[in-house]
Chains A and B, each alone.
Chain A
């Protein structure tokens, strides 16, 4: 199995890091939704989902940063992956509904970045 990946992420700590066999796909906006939408678009084109889109217990209404790993290799679109992503999107939406992402001071924003980064990195071998 190919070990090349794309990392879809809006996390500055992740964007500025280098990982072996992983190309970064940066997303500009904060919050989870655009990361999920970009991931969805890739899945439609046949990339496979490698990590779960809802990592961590920090809820989508408060966590500005999210990284998702997908395969670089394209195949036939996998409907299970798409279904999982749609469910995650629905789940994220219900948390975000009616709430704006808080504006964090640098230290706190950094904490959020760090946890997202470590959750993704923790499984990379």
Chain B
């Protein structure tokens, strides 16, 4: 499987009446996008707004963050199995990326909305999306819509918009082109016999409403562990339906730009042999956990891996999956490193994880989500501040009169995501 990933560096975004990229400036066709979103009769109103790095803008409540990309050639389309009912294998050929931009869906789905992206101030330090040029799609559902239906509508709206914008990059000459090639499991083993065989176990959130992930359109609750090529992620094979806890959320953007995949590929063929990705889920049934972790350990062994990185999404229930995966893989003689975030309580003094096994002796921490900070008021809010106090990380009194917000960093999108995209970490004092 061979993918050419062409990155078009976008320096600025403007709202306009056509969809085009020219000299690094992306113009988005507002009317086209609004019409596209309103094709879905579950959505009553939509507005498109921009938020750029350094702006005094607060975006909330955020549902998903998605990067505009387009398949230039090769099989399939971006977000297979979700958009337009097209589902074909992706991950090869050529894909262009409008790098530096993202689409952010904004809208109230339930009483405990997901979180905040601040484009400046201390809150901006904690989210990766204060550094992207954000095209915000603010959604209002029709009256009385059932939450399930609204979640689906919002999810699809974001993907459709990202897709439509991505098309603008189809014929543009990219600034950089990286080539990623997977030679097949046997091929890779033979190509780099001296290098340690490394795999990446990617745990997908799969507990239920607002806690779901989709793989080629399939609800991750219903999968058994399987192997994927890294480039499939780059083409949007995995998308997020998770929007409850902001700080450790993996938005679609991070599935597309998985930092673990990036860092493994950077060393591939030099220090390690990146054999592939094993995806698995985080179901609530304990029997499912046993089945999935057995499957992960088996696949890792069948791939003859020397070591795996294991990431997770979420807290509590997924901590048990994380530990089961670790324990069973280690017992197969394969070394593991876990990546997770922590919740040691406001004073930092409690056990950070809800589960623990002694085999988990190598862990990277993406920071603790209970830290309380005060984010200054912003001149503009895209979305609404109504539900700040019931967001995870917020509490009675979080919303100050002057517009500043005092809350745990749990409230900030991807502040502690366990893919390790940030430099935030925690240590023991």
In their complex, do chains A and B touch, with some C-beta pair under 8 Å?
A: yes
B221 contacts partner chain A, Cβ-Cβ < 8 Å: yes
A51 is an interface residue with CB less than 8 A from chain B = yes
A115 with B209: CB separation less than 8 A: yes
Across the interface, A111 reaches (CB within 8 A) one of B147, B208, B320, B350, namely: B147
Which of A6-14, A35-43, A57-65 participates in binding chain B? Answer: A57-65
B284 & A95 in contact (Cβ 8 Å cutoff): no
Residues of chain A from 65 to 100 with CB closer than 8 A to chain B in the complex? 69, 84, 87-88, 90-91, 94-95, 97-99
Cα distance A102–B390 when bound, in Å? 8
A56 to B245, CA, bound (A): 9
Contact yes or no, A91 B314, CB < 8 A: no
Contacting residue for A122 out of B209, B244, B392, CB 8 A: B209
Tell whether, in the assembled complex, residue B207 and residue A55 are in contact, meaning their CB atoms are under 8 Å apart. Answer: yes
Contact, CB under 8 Å: A52 / B390? no
Contacts of B343 in A (CB 8 A): 59, 91, 94-95
A90 to B352: give the CA distance in the assembly, Å.
11
Cβ-based interface call for A20 (8 A): no
Distance (Å) between the CB of A6 and the closest chain B CB? 15
Complex CA–CA separation, A50 to B390 (angstroms):
30
Q: Does A4 contact B (CB under 8 A)?
A: no
A123 at the binding interface (Cβ < 8 Å): yes
State whether B284 touches A119 (Cβ < 8 A).
Answer: yes
User: A50-B286, A52-B284, A55-B284 given as contacts; is B209 within 8 A of A119 (CB)?
Assistant: yes
Task: Show the binding face of A for B, using Cβ within 8 Å.
Answer: 49-52, 54-59, 62-63, 69, 84, 87-88, 90-91, 94-95, 97-99, 102, 104, 107-112, 114-115, 118-123
Of the A-B pairs whose beta carbons lie under 8 Å apart in the complex, a sample of 29, sorted by A's number, is: A52-B289, A52-B317, A55-B317, A56-B208, A56-B244, A56-B317, A57-B245, A57-B392, A59-B245, A59-B392, A84-B355, A87-B356, A88-B316, A90-B350, A90-B351, A91-B343, A94-B344, A104-B111, A108-B111, A114-B110, A114-B209, A118-B209, A119-B208, A119-B209, A122-B284, A123-B208, A123-B221, A123-B284, A123-B288
- Residues on B close to A: CB < 8 A? 110-112, 147-148, 207-211, 221, 242, 244-245, 248, 283-289, 314-317, 320, 343-346, 350-351, 354-356, 389-390, 392, 395-396, 410
6 new A-B contacts at CB < 8 Å, known A54-B354, A91-B343, A122-B284: A57-B316, A90-B351, A91-B316, A95-B343, A97-B345, A112-B111
